Structure 1
Amino acid sequence: MVALKEALARNGGLWIGCAPEQREAPSNELVMHQRPDFDIGLFELEPPLYRDFYLGYSNSVLWPALHGRVDLIDVKPRYAKAYRDVGRRLARLVAGAVNDDDVIWVHDYQMIPLAHELKALGVKCRIGFFLHIPMPDLQTFKAIPEWQDLARCLSDYDLLGFQTRRDLSHMINIFRNTLRGELRANGTMGISGREVALGSFPISIDVAGFRELAASGADKVSPPPLPRLIGVDRLDYSKGLPQRLAGYEAFLETHPQYRSRVSLLQIAPPTRDDVDAYKAIRSELESLSGHINGRFGTVDWTPVQYIHRALPRTELAVLYRLSRVGLVTPLFDGMNLVAKEFVAAQDERDPGVLVLSQFAGAAEEMPEALIINPHDPHDIAQAIKTALDMPLSERMKRHSALYAHLESHNVTRWSTAFLKQLTSVERIGPDGVAPLPGSTPWSRTA
């Protein structure tokens, strides 16, 4: 969310989001909060609706499906109804707050139906959508019971943005096979009489700002006594945390000379504790950490330091800078900004090495990292050894290339590129809208 705040602070506008506290009698209007940089409008939900919309459909259906974990999908009819109802309610609130010449930028999987609902109310703004998490292939997408409805809702946006070329190609294939979409030479898709623009817009960070944050903080902190490996992830089954620990265990097992000579700091703040899948991953991670420490630890050395809480961004920046190896091992990820933060935080005179999953969106942009298969613990183990043994000259060369790319592809470029394309999209059809073939979205479950 840091990237969005920086974009809004620069361009101005209104941030609309869900209120953090639920109410039995939610307001029928946006609850406004004025700030010096941009205003915030919050929409309120009653507890049962919030539970079924957010913990239910958003994070027990869409999140696992879009991350390829169809085995974790929890289908309940009330979840889909809540998701649809929230989209309609929010559309009514947004429609009353915008003018025809405004630009609406919708973010992420929780809000997919919003453009459809807004256009049904007669809103004529340009509406763009950016998916922060992965878009899976067609067969995985079809595991979502409402997959056709979701595809139709996505086609109602004027511009669809994705993190990677991989996700973009998946969306094109879904449109081709669901709505008979036709790819144009200019990169748009023709769908039932209107054009939908699509593009890859890799999200990034304030590279210079994060670098300064790390450098200024590191001057006040002593370096760790041992070379440190670091992982920073929300506690989520998509992040490959058990696989990371399995790789670290394989490293200690096959390279005993490194025992008592390195340490792993894993920071995994809690998230969505009310969802069963997240309770399971927490239990597994705590068990694995204890297992490794019990197997290899000594009175004077703890192989794994595990922190199950969030740390301030200022503290994280310093931890990155003072770490020799950054471990980013998701099983499937839209981008993963931790990889970019780790690179930005490094001291270019003595930089650490990034070990990066081939399934992270960041891998498309960061080939100078050590790219690994997170499902192979021996691949992770070998990458850790390679990173620790890497000569300074090679570390500097790899870091220089990575940093140069990040410097020219920062968060400003990301938001500017998306908004520039959204405002320049040619809109075809009456009022920019044409009816889609077949039933209207959600008609099967209305």
Structure 2
Amino acid sequence: VGGTGLTLQMTQDGNITYALTDLTQTDVEEYYQGFANRVLWPICHYRLDLAEYARKEMTGYFRVNRFFAHRLAPLIEPDDIIWVHDYHLIPLAAELRQMGLKNRIGFFLHIPWPPADVVLAMPVHEEIMRGLSSYDLLGFQTDYDLENFAGCLKREGMGIEKSPGHFSAHGHDFRGGAYSIGIETAGFAEFARKAASHSMVQKVRQSIEGRDLILGVDRLDYSKGITQRIDAFERFITNNPAHQRSITYLQITPKSRSEVPEYEAMQNAVAEQAGRVNGAIGTVDWVPIRYINRSISRPILA
């Protein structure tokens, strides 16, 4: 952040070459902190109440995607396949097409895609849908997300589904599919096996003194349901006093996007909520909720 963006920095890691470019502080504020995370993120998570639309941030979002396209285009060979990831880069294919690139371009969305009634509340929904329609293959995580996308096209007459998973919109034919993603379970299981003897894991086991452990690991975000979980835990203990002192709830929640006001407010709210519950139902020898607001390494979490 803060550079001129006039030069690309090329770095090599094994057989992967990375091309890095700077963004200005204004770019970051309007593109990332603004439209991407104060409009697209809440709307895609059905939180219209948290979406805050500003024209300059919308302009910044499309401007930065245009900038990325101009930085990327000289690096692309005619037979390259381009794979774009997530909501920050929805307009990228459309920008590359404007520059005359004919390459096959795929896109995968790592967050939900809501139904038409939610999407259409976004002032620039047509531009976003046009951006998605510029790809050759759209990947969603669930069939429901794919159905919602198809519904958005039909609702506004922007396109049609010619056959299951085959669409035509804005003069372009493309495919869409649901491709569920997960983790490498074998590798994670190996982490868990090795972590069993780690000093931190041993300390946690000793500290809970044989109690059952409820573990939550989430980035601090309103889409994760952290406050609702704390509420549910408090109600369970209150309604089932026999379980008091027999269960500990450990919530590990690294800070996220603290520069966005909604996230800063949530950080304070979750900490206050955990403290209130501990004060209400805890005892001198039992802290019901352990709330950690920092990262724990993946091998230890396993």
1:69 to 19, 22, 47: 47
* Counterpart check, 1:255 vs 2:209: no
1:58 to 36, 44, 47: 36
The 8 Å contact of residues 67 and 238 in structure 1, kept in 2 or not, is answered as yes
* Counterpart check, 1:288 vs 2:273: yes
How far apart, in 2, do the equivalents of 1:213 and 1:111 lie?
33
How far apart, in 2, do the equivalents of 1:287 and 1:230 lie?
19
The residue that corresponds to 1:232 in the other structure is 217
* Counterpart check, 1:268 vs 2:258: no
How far apart, in 1, do the equivalents of 2:290 and 2:90 lie?
39
2:75 to 97, 104, 109: 97
The residue that corresponds to 1:125 in the other structure is 103
Listed as ranges, the matches of 1:17-416 within 5 Å are 22-23=1-2, 25-220=3-198, 221-222=201-202, 223=205, 224-225=208-209, 226-317=211-302
Structure 1 residue matching 2:280: 3-state secondary structure: helix
Give, in angstroms, the shift of residue 265 of structure 1: 0.2
**Which amino acid is the alignment partner of residue 163 of structure 1?**
Q
The 8 Å contact of residues 133 and 170 in structure 2, kept in 1 or not, is answered as no
Return 5+ residue gaps in structure 1 as ranges. 1-21, 318-446
Residues 188-221 of structure 1 show CA distances to partners (whole Å, capped at 9, x for unaligned) of: 0122543210000011111100111111111444
**Which amino acid is the alignment partner of residue 81 of structure 1?**
T
The 8 Å contact of residues 31 and 57 in structure 2, kept in 1 or not, is answered as yes
Structure 2 residue matching 1:40: 3-state secondary structure: strand
Structure 2 residue matching 1:230: 3-state secondary structure: strand
What's the RMSD between the two structures over aligned residues?
1.3
How far apart, in 2, do the equivalents of 1:292 and 1:245 lie?
8
Structure 2 residue matching 1:105: 3-state secondary structure: strand
Residues 247-269 of structure 1 show CA distances to partners (whole Å, capped at 9, x for unaligned) of: 00011001111111110000111
How far apart, in 1, do the equivalents of 2:153 and 2:146 lie?
11
**Which amino acid is the alignment partner of residue 136 of structure 1?**
P
More contact order relative to length (CA 8 Å, sep ≥ 6): 1
Residues 135-187 of structure 1 show CA distances to partners (whole Å, capped at 9, x for unaligned) of: 01101101111001111111000000001111110000111123442223352
Aligned length: 295
Structure 2 residue matching 1:96: 3-state secondary structure: helix
The 8 Å contact of residues 151 and 178 in structure 1, kept in 2 or not, is answered as no
Give, in angstroms, the shift of residue 43 of structure 1: 2.0
How far apart, in 2, do the equivalents of 1:28 and 1:201 lie?
37
Residues 77-99 of structure 1 show CA distances to partners (whole Å, capped at 9, x for unaligned) of: 11011111101110011111111
The 8 Å contact of residues 231 and 266 in structure 1, kept in 2 or not, is answered as yes
User: For the structure 1 residues 81 and 180, does the alpha-carbon distance in structure 2 shift closer, same or farther, using more than 3 Å as the test?
Assistant: closer
The 8 Å contact of residues 152 and 179 in structure 1, kept in 2 or not, is answered as no
Return 5+ residue gaps in structure 2 as ranges. none
Residues 350-399 of structure 1 show CA distances to partners (whole Å, capped at 9, x for unaligned) of: xxxxxxxxxxxxxxxxxxxxxxxxxxxxxxxxxxxxxxxxxxxxxxxxxx
Q: Percent identity?
A: 38
Give, in angstroms, the shift of residue 76 of structure 1: 1.2
